[in-house]
Structures are given as structure tokens and as C-alpha cells.
Amino acid sequence: MSRTLQLAEQLISRPSVTPDDAGCQQILGERLARLGFRLESIESGPADFRVTNLWAVRPGAGEPQATRTVAFAGHTDVVPTGPLEQWSSHPFTPTHRDGKLYGRGACDMKTSLAAFVVAIEDFLATTPDPRLTLALLLTSDEEGPALDGTVVVCNTLAARGERIDYCIVGEPTAVERCGDMIKNGRRGTMSGKLTVKGVQGHIAYPHLAKNPIHAFAPALAELVAINAAGGWDAANAYFQPTSWQISNIHAGTGASNIIPGAAVIDFNFRFSTESTPESLQQRVRAVLDTHGLDYTLAWTIGGLPFLTTPGELVGAVQQAIRDETGIETELSTSGGTSDARFIAKICKQVVELGPVNASIHKIDEHITVAEIEQLKNIYKRTLDRLETLQGV
């Protein structure tokens, strides 16, 4: 059995539902310690939601100032299984059927973690004294609130003045085959909670009340029209136009004879590098003000967009995928947010590269077994290429 498959199965056997690491980081840390990595466990969060993070580093040869750091990053936690009786085999018992490996975390993202570690082992077998500094950043809080995970490690590194030069996040990014898509950026996310104020009253005496839903309706039509026209900003080479969506509208008491006193509207922007939180906030306020609304508006920025333009890391990954699979990979910034948004603050070159994402978070999550070795080889080839770029 391949070492990557064996290690992936070992990890899948651990029921590490967020924020419980269930010993996964210890398994991976022990493998790295044997290769000369220095391990640092960084715990964070309240007693009832304790998050375990691991930062592991193996210094490269040569002057510390000159050596570049390449980090693999990912999460040991998995999402809950959902109803056990709907799984064809137990989610925490790695099981093979039809050339596929089934289990929670099979593609999001315990196989990537196994592939990271075995790729590093293979790389050090052929390059025992690399110029590259190698690192691994793991958290057990990516699928949860993500308040005590990767962001805490990144803040710790930033406070110490440590930097990462290249980072590969193992999130499942492929569409049909391993290597067919990587993420070289992600959109930002910002939510707004709008409260439009009215005056509550009897529905038969509207002149004595003020209906906040009626007041908001023209503004809503205008916001929807801007969005439908892709009018928040322009698409660029890497991003679609920014998108705006309402997730909830609440108003009314439940009674059919009362004009509500307020309407609460929740919405979210997924925004590109063409916009900033400030520019979008200003646009929304301008629309609300035009329509003379009495309102309050609270914003939550979930993450800023990031973009890694083609350069050393993107080039190395593209070539590694080409050499291993023959595929010309597609660069994409689609999909939700990931921990890469935190890493991008301390690392200029970040890409996400992992298995096919079709079954993530689902019942019967699985990965094609043949692609496990391929993924490990792509990571190994990427290290080889980055190493050849050092000291030239």
C-alpha cells in the first residue's frame, strides 16, 4: 500500500470534527520531527472550544536571511458526518469501493495532509540538504468559526517577524480530475445587517403609521438592478464582477392587521480586488440615502480578497501538474472563502491545490485512489521546482 494512502487512512480513522483534532496533528508532527522539523503547538480558544494548531519548520541551508520558506497549509478538522445510517460505510472507517476511498475528510482534506508529509519525505530523500526552508501549518478550526485557527498562527508569525514566501493550501480545488483547477485567489466576503425603521400601527390606519417594507421597496429594486447589471465593479482577468445577495428579510409581528415597526435585511457581498469594503459600503449607503430611508446599518468583513498573479509559485505548480498529469491547469478565484485569506496577509504567493471537490461535506465523501499518489507527486514536483529557483 502507498505510504500516502496509508497515512490518509490513519487520519480518516480519527473522528476529528471541529474543533477536535483527535490526535491527527500528533501523527503528522511525529513524521516531520523525524525529518528534522521543529514543532510548535499553538492552542487557542475557550475551554469549550479549544483549537489545536501546529506550526512545524525545518530550516534550509545557507544564510537565514537568504533562505525562502515554502509552507503547506491545511486543516485536520472535518465537518460533521450527518445521519450515520445514510453512509454506505462508517465515515470514520476508511473503506475502499470501486477504486475509491470513502470516509469523512477523504477529500476535505486529510488526503492532502498525508500527501504534504509524504511529498516532504520524498523531497528530502532526493534533496537531503535543501536551500528551501520547509514548513507545515495545520489547524483544527477551519470548518468552524475559524477564529482560533490559522489566523492565530499567522498573527503569531507576524508578531515574531517570520515570513512565508510560498504557501500551498491543500483545499480540494479540482473539478473532475486532480490538477485540472487551482485557486490563485479568492473573493472577499462582507455582510451587512440593515434595519429600516418605520412606525408600527393598525393596518386600517396607515396614515398613522409608516411601513418600513414599503419604504425599502424602491431601494431594494435599485440594489437588485445594480447587481443584475454587474454594476458593482468590472470583471478583471482573475475575478468575476462583485456579487450581492440578500439572505434574510424579517418584518412583522405575525398578525395580519399590524404595520410593522421595522424591517431587518441581511445581505452579503462576495467582492473582487476591483472593490474595497469602503467603496461598497458607500454605494449601498448612497442608494439608501437617495430613497430617504431611516435606517441603521452594521457591517462585518469576513475576509478581504487575495490574488497571486502568475509568478514563481503559480509557475512551479502549473509545471508540476503538467509533468505529473499532462493537464494544463486552470487558474480560478471562484468558490467560498478559505484560510488562504489569513495566510495571504503574511505571504505574497499563495495557491490552493487539492483533490476533486465534488463530494466534500456530503454523505459518502470519497476520493479516487489513483489520484492520491498523483497529488503527492504534484506537491513533490512543486518542491523540486521551487528548490531549483533558489540561489540563482
Give the catalytic positions in this structure.
77, 142
Contact window for Zn ion (CB under 5 A) among 27-35, 108-116, 202-210, 361-369: 108-116
Contact window for Zn ion (CB under 5 A) among 98-106, 165-173, 241-249, 382-390: 165-173
Pick from 54, 106, 109, 263 the residue near Zn ion by CB under 5 A: 109
CA distance linking residue 213 with residue 209, whole number of Å: 12
Cell of 91: 465515515
Considering the complex, state which of residue 9 and residue 141 has its C-beta at the smaller distance from Zn ion: 141
Q: Does 280 bind Zn ion (CB under 5 A)?
A: no
Contact window for Zn ion (CB under 5 A) among 103-111, 133-141, 179-187, 192-200: 103-111
**DSSP code of residue 381:** H
Q: Phi/psi at 110 (nearest 5 deg)?
A: -75, -30
Considering the complex, state which of residue 109 and residue 174 has its C-beta at the smaller distance from Zn ion: 109
Q: Report, in Å, the least distance between residue 331 CB and Zn ion.
A: 19
Place of cell 489569513: 342
Q: By beta-carbon distance, which residue lies closest to Zn ion?
A: 108
Are 37 and 136 within 8 A, CB to CB? yes
Pairing verdict, β 201-202 and 258-259: antiparallel
CA distance linking residue 362 with residue 350, whole number of Å: 27
Are 196 and 262 within 8 A, CB to CB? yes
Are 90 and 363 within 8 A, CB to CB? no
By the 10 Å C-beta count (0-12 exposed, 13-18 middle, 19+ buried), 247 is classed as exposed
The site for Zn ion, by CB under 5 A, has a size of 3
Q: Report, in Å, the least distance between residue 142 CB and Zn ion.
A: 6
Q: Report, in Å, the least distance between residue 348 CB and Zn ion.
A: 23
Pick from 9, 20, 77, 108 the residue near Zn ion by CB under 5 A: 108
Contact flags string 168-187 toward Zn ion, x per CB under 5 A: ---x----------------
Residues in contact with Zn ion by CB under 5 A are 108-109, 171
